[in-house]
Amino acid sequence: MTTSSITHFWFALLGSVAMLAVVLTALGLMIGLVKPADIPRKLRTLLANLIALMIFPGILMSAWARLTLWQQIALAAIGVIILLILVPARKARNKQRG
């Protein structure tokens, strides 16, 4: 898959999710689960999240493409190390709560 096909797939997926969210909001209004006063706030939140999900991957993909291979490997290793540190800490925290 090329970068353009990945981004095309991502934007198509986001469009589908956004349409589903708008339809569910409209159904909630018709059924009475969503108050009319709450709809502008929910749509603003939906649009803000949608814009963020469209902008951030483009920025990350362009930044990732400019990195050399060893920099990409180093970033991936840092991510794996962070995950290995955070997962046991989260399990311990959840075990104390439960």
Q: Characterise 32 by phi-psi region: left (phi > 0), alpha (psi -120 to 50), beta (else).
A: left
Tokens matching residue 2: 């090329």
Flag whether pLDDT at 1 surpasses 60: no
Q: Tens digit of pLDDT for each residue in 41-96?
A: 877 887 888 788 778 877 777 888 888 999 989 999 999 999 898 888 777 777 77
Model confidence at 2: pLDDT above 70? no
* Residue keyed to tokens 């649009």: 47
pLDDT band at 3 (very low <50, low <70, confident <90, very high): low
Q: Read off the pLDDT of each residue in 21-32 and give the average, rounded to a whole number.
A: 81
Residue 97, both tokens: 């709560």
Residue 77: per-residue pLDDT:
95
d(CA 72, CA 64): 7
Quote the pLDDT of residue 57: 77
